[in-house]
Amino acid sequence: MDFKPRSYSKQELAMLYFPEAAPHVAVNRLNSWIRRCRDLNVLMDACPVSKFSKFYTAHQVRLIVEYLGDP
Q: Residue 40's pLDDT is what?
A: 97
CB 13 within 8 A of CB 34: no
Residue 29 burial (C-beta neighbours within 10 Å; 0-12, 13-18, 19+): middle
Q: Residue 7's pLDDT is what?
A: 96
Q: Which domain holds residue 37?
A: 8-68
Position 42 in a domain: yes
pLDDT, tens digit, for every residue of 17-60? 999 999 999 999 999 999 999 999 999 999 988 878 999 999 99
pLDDT at 1 over 80: no
Position 58 in a domain: yes
Position 2 in a domain: no
Position 1 in a domain: no
Position 3 in a domain: no
Position 14 in a domain: yes
* Number of domains the chain contains: 1
Length of the chain (residues): 71
